[in-house]
């Protein structure tokens, strides 16, 4: 917007209502009001003289009183006008002062916003540097901005996650002897990038720990969503972290991974994720849907005392077709919702001791290549082992079976566990056909 002279009109955005506009009292209006007051005085004088003068001595006194009265009226009217002008001036001054305060506040807010934007922009630019120390400085600058400005935290977390999602191959511990100088330099740069990524991960994990309840730590960033789809994460440690939602689809977890005592309050997705090292989910709490479909565990997977639950039974942990080449531990885990382990392959030992299934549990077409231990497990809802294969020893000692257990086409390479035989005998369900293959 420009004025008639072509100069731009600057308007501060205070966030408040637009102040009311007041018309300026012009010189013409002042002259008109002055003339009206004089005419009022003269008119009153003439009227009083005509009304109370009859030509004698007493009339002269009356005339004098009339003039005095007219003068008093004129002076009083002028005084009232002066008071009105003074009140108007005072109100205009107060309005101008308030507007000036609003402009100052808006200017300060604008300056703060520009400061944050400048810090954010410079930090993001640092992340694009080819020098690892500069990138490290960029992450620490972003951390400082997020810690000081809560409304910027999710945005900065998104930037950190985006960096971690960029393609990366961890370097070998030692380059091969045949490597030339260029390859050695690339190995050095990759090793430096590893440290940058570890720092980025550490910033996330340090600020996702609420600390002891009911007083969260001042460094805790609440209600954060993580999008690490397809990222390569190195030794991620989310122990005791509180996260709203997390997307780990196709994520490559290298080295040891920890989710012990972590809490997820919104959706969690590990579909097609790969765990190359041991994965620990001890005492983890999933209060929302969690998906491990097609996940691959190349080392030990420990879900001991993990709780899969939700406000209703719509929460469905899905373990469809993941692979557990080594030991998988669900010892003392609690499934308060439907648990799907359909088509899962357990290559190593599968521990389900003391596990509680408070809803249906599905192990259809599941393959247990090693020892399977369901000792003292509790099945409250339907349990379905249709077409499951137990190639190693299966232990169901003290397991509590529900009224309905589907064992159709289930195969036990070792002898059928006594508890299973006893259940079948008691159930007398001819359609639940159990076969053995000891060859």
- Convert the pLDDT of each residue in 319-349 to its tens digit: 666 677 788 889 999 998 888 888 888 888 9
> Does 353 fall in a domain?
yes
Predicted confidence (pLDDT) at residue 437 exceeds the cutoff of 90: no
Band (3; pLDDT cuts 50, 70, 90): very low
Contact indicator for 164, 197 with CB cutoff of 8 Å:
yes
Predicted confidence (pLDDT) at residue 38 exceeds the cutoff of 90: no
Band (300; pLDDT cuts 50, 70, 90): confident
113, 259: one domain: no
Q: Whole domain around residue 399: which residue ranges?
A: 221-436
Residue ending a domain, among 92, 127, 162, is 127
Q: What is the Cα 342 distance to its own chain's centre?
A: 32
Predicted confidence (pLDDT) at residue 83 exceeds the cutoff of 90: no
Calpha distance 240→216 (Å, rounded): 12
Calpha distance 419→158 (Å, rounded): 52
423, 287: one domain: yes
Q: Please tell me what DSSP assigns to residue 237.
A: B
Predicted confidence (pLDDT) at residue 4 exceeds the cutoff of 50: no
237, 100: one domain: no
Residue ending a domain, among 100, 127, 154, is 127
Band (203; pLDDT cuts 50, 70, 90): very high
Look at the block and give the residue holding tokens 């809803």. Answer: 359
* 9-13, 167-171, 331-335: the lowest-pLDDT one: 9-13
404, 268: one domain: yes
The pLDDT assigned to 318 comes to: 58
Predicted confidence (pLDDT) at residue 11 exceeds the cutoff of 70: no
Which residues is 199 bridged to in the sheet?
none
Which range has highest mean pLDDT (44-53, 134-143, 186-195, 399-408)? Answer: 134-143
Of 115, 217, 192, 208, whose CA–CA distance to 160 is shortest? Answer: 208
Domain count across the chain? 2
Token pair of 83, please? 């008071």
112, 243: one domain: no
123, 254: one domain: no
The pLDDT assigned to 221 comes to: 96
End-to-end CA distance of the chain: 90
DSSP run (H or E) holding 279: strand 279-280
The pLDDT assigned to 314 comes to: 32
Token pair of 194, please? 């590893």
**Pairing label, strands 252-254, 372-373:** unpaired
Of 302, 221, 210, 292, whose CA–CA distance to 256 is shortest? Answer: 302
> Does 133 fall in a domain?
no
Calpha distance 106→104 (Å, rounded): 5
Q: Alpha-carbon torsion 43, 46, 52, 58, what sign?
A: positive
216-255 burial by CB neighbour count: b if 16+ within 10 A, else e?
eeeebbeebebbbbbbbbbebbbbbbbbbbbbbbbbbbbe
Predicted confidence (pLDDT) at residue 215 exceeds the cutoff of 50: yes
> Residues 238-242: what's their mean pLDDT?
96
Residue ending a domain, among 99, 127, 155, is 127
Calpha distance 419→425 (Å, rounded): 10
Predicted confidence (pLDDT) at residue 14 exceeds the cutoff of 50: no
Higher-confidence residue of 92 and 18: namely: 92
The pLDDT assigned to 439 comes to: 30
Radius of gyration of the chain (CA): 41
Of 95, 84, 78, whose CA–CA distance to 25 is shortest? Answer: 84
Of 143, 124, 144, whose CA–CA distance to 134 is shortest? Answer: 124
> Does 54 fall in a domain?
yes
The pLDDT assigned to 192 comes to: 92
Residue 425: count of CB within 10 angstroms of its CB? 8
> Does 382 fall in a domain?
yes
Which range has highest mean pLDDT (76-80, 97-101, 136-140, 333-337)? Answer: 136-140
Predicted confidence (pLDDT) at residue 303 exceeds the cutoff of 80: yes
93, 228: one domain: no
Give me the phi and psi of 227, to 5 degrees please: -120, 95
Predicted confidence (pLDDT) at residue 430 exceeds the cutoff of 50: no
The pLDDT assigned to 433 comes to: 45
Of 340, 342, 330, 391, whose CA–CA distance to 366 is shortest? Answer: 342
98, 229: one domain: no
> Does 184 fall in a domain?
no
pTM for the full predicted model: 0.70
Higher-confidence residue of 230 and 419: namely: 230
* 158-162, 203-207, 318-322, 368-372: the lowest-pLDDT one: 318-322
> Does 280 fall in a domain?
yes
Look at the block and give the residue holding tokens 């809560």. Answer: 150
Calpha distance 153→421 (Å, rounded): 57
> Does 348 fall in a domain?
yes
The pLDDT assigned to 56 comes to: 60
Distances (CA, A) of 422 to 148, 353, 415: 64, 19, 13
Q: Please tell me what DSSP assigns to residue 371.
A: -
> Does 258 fall in a domain?
yes
Average pLDDT, the chain: 82
> Residues 396-417: what's their mean pLDDT?
91
Of 64, 66, 65, 75, whose CA–CA distance to 40 is shortest? Answer: 75
E strands along 151-255, which residues?
225-227, 232-234, 242-243, 245-247, 252-254
């Amino acid at each position: 917007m420009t004025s008639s002279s072509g100069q731009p009109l600057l308007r501060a955005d205070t966030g408040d209502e637009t102040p009311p506009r007041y018309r300026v009292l012009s010189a013409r209006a002042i002259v008109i009001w002055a003339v009206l007051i004089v005419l009022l005085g003269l008119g009153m004088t003439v009227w009083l003289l005509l009304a109370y003068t009859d030509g004698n001595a007493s009339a002269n006194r009356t005339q004098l009183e009339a003039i005095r009265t007219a003068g008093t009226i004129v002076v009083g009217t002028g005084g009232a006008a002066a008071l009105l002008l003074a009140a108007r001036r005072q109100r205009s001054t107060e309005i101008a002062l308030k507007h000036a305060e609003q402009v100052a506040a808006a200017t300060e807010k604008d300056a703060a916003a520009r400061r944050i934007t400048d810090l954010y922009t410079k930090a993001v630019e640092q992340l694009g540097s080819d020098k690892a120390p500069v990138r490290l400085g960029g992450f620490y600058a972003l951390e400082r901005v997020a810690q000081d400005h809560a409304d910027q935290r999710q945005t900065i977390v998104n930037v950190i996650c985006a960096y971690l999602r960029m393609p990366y191959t961890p370097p070998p511990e030692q380059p091969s002897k045949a490597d030339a100088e260029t390859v050695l330099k690339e190995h050095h740069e990759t090793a430096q990038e590893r440290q940058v990524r570890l720092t980025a991960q550490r910033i996330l994990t340090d600020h996702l720990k609420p600390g002891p309840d009911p007083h969260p730590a001042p460094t805790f960033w609440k209600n954060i969503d993580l999008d690490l789809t397809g990222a390569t994460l190195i030794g991620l440690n989310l122990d005791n972290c509180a996260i709203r939602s997390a997307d780990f689809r196709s994520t490559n977890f290298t080295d040891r991974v920890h989710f012990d005592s972590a809490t997820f309050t919104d959706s969690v997705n590990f579909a097609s994720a790969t765990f190359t090292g041991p994965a620990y989910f001890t005492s983890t709490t999933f209060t929302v849907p969690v998906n491990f479909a097609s996940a691959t565990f190349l080392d030990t997977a420990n879900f001991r005392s993990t709780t899969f639950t939700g406000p209703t039974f719509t929460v469905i942990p899905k373990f469809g077709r993941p692979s557990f080449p080594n030991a998988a531990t669900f010892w003392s885990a609690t499934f308060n919702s439907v648990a799907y382990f359909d088509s899962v392959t357990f290559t190593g030992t599968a521990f389900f001791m003391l596990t509680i299934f408070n809803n249906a549990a599905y192990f259809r077409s599941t393959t247990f290549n090693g020892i399977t231990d369901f000792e003292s497990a509790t099945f409250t809802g339907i349990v379905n082992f249709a077409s499951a294969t137990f190639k190693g020893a299966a232990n169901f000692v003290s397991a509590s079976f529900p009224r309905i257990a589907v064992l159709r086409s289930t195969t036990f390479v070792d002898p059928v566990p006594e508890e299973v035989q006893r259940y079948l005998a008691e159930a007398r369900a001819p359609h639940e056909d159990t076969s053995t293959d000891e060859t």
